[in-house]
Structure 1
Amino acid sequence: MSTVTAVPIAPTKRSYLVWLWIGIAVAVAAAAALAWVGTSTEAVRASLPNDKFLAANKRQSGVIETASGLQYEVLKQGTGASPTDGDITLAMYKGTLRDGTQFDASQQPTPLPVTGMIPGFTEALKLMKKGGKYRIWIKPELGYGAEARKDQAGKEVIPANSLLVFEVELFEFMPQAQFMQMMQQQQQMGGGMPGGPPPGAGPPQGR
């Protein structure tokens, strides 16, 4: 820039600089406080008893609670009809405890009999539609209750009175009779049943 077009910057008063630094410090402190509050809130919710956790959780945006106490959130809305008690569903799922510890997950779309699940899982399946994906919270009374679940080595994977969290994606469903006929045909051709044991049949110990 030439000396002709250069415009000198007026000196900043010391008091202005002090207030500027104070303002920056306040903004940084406020941001840190907000981050701490968010983390603290999650930590507090995680430490709550199941009933208080569910009471707080149902106030979260998008969470719906049914008459039985099942809570769910629609992550992706499906279309068409919903499965009934006489159907076999084809779904992907992941099950975790409240602290995020994963205890079960399908590796591929897995056949799940609607009435062969724990009560909360069965109820959730009957709410879903093809192509839908839900997050569900199953209180112990709709899950395994006071029964702890162990793997084949005897290690506890689901403590007694656990609240279970599942993400479930429903791909397809059909009447059980139709599914059994398909399986018989597949077995005759040398195939087997796709997928692994369903979650409601009990991860480890009950599987």
Structure 2
Amino acid sequence: MRFDHLFDDLESQLESELGASERGVAEEEERFRIGRLELRERLREGPQSIDFMLSGGHRLRARRVSVGRDWFSGEVTDGAAEGAGCVIPFASILAVRMDEASALASTAPAPERVRLADRLSLGFVLRDFARRRVWLQVHGAVAGSLAPGGTIDRVARDHFDLAVHEHGSIRARGNVAHIALVPFSAVDWIQLEP
């Protein structure tokens, strides 16, 4: 019967259109999910070792240790003393270099977990360095700027006070050359001794 073929053809067309519609919805949902991804999520889910190009002209390769709300921390493998620690504010990142497979993998859906580090700001990390009296070196966001070393005395909302002194000496009045008030926005990256 002619109607059997007609109904079979209509059924086939309907199934094809429904399948295309479902694929279109799934593709749109994926585009929407990727549109909400943040840099910190991609750094957290990306490769363990990451190449950074920073606004001050610095290039670093670092092995990821932690990713916070607005910062990345890692162990430098190229671009500074081997094994030195680094803290990189997201605001100073010009680009992150990855191969194509790593870039694609960094967009994969991650399990929903509440991570304390996701809520910790750069200021919180700097306050921890101040409490522990860690000697560090600050590299500026303008090529050739800053790079003084010392101990953080206090951390305010948008800047910190760095007591500049020689590495290996304690932070004492006679050892401090000067106090540098450093805006967070002037920091390209912070180097911690290995």
Q: TM-score, normalised by structure 2?
A: 0.31
Bigger Rg, structure 1 or 2: 1
User: What TM-score results when the alignment is normalised by the length of structure 1?
Assistant: 0.30
In terms of fraction of residues, the more strand-rich structure is: 2
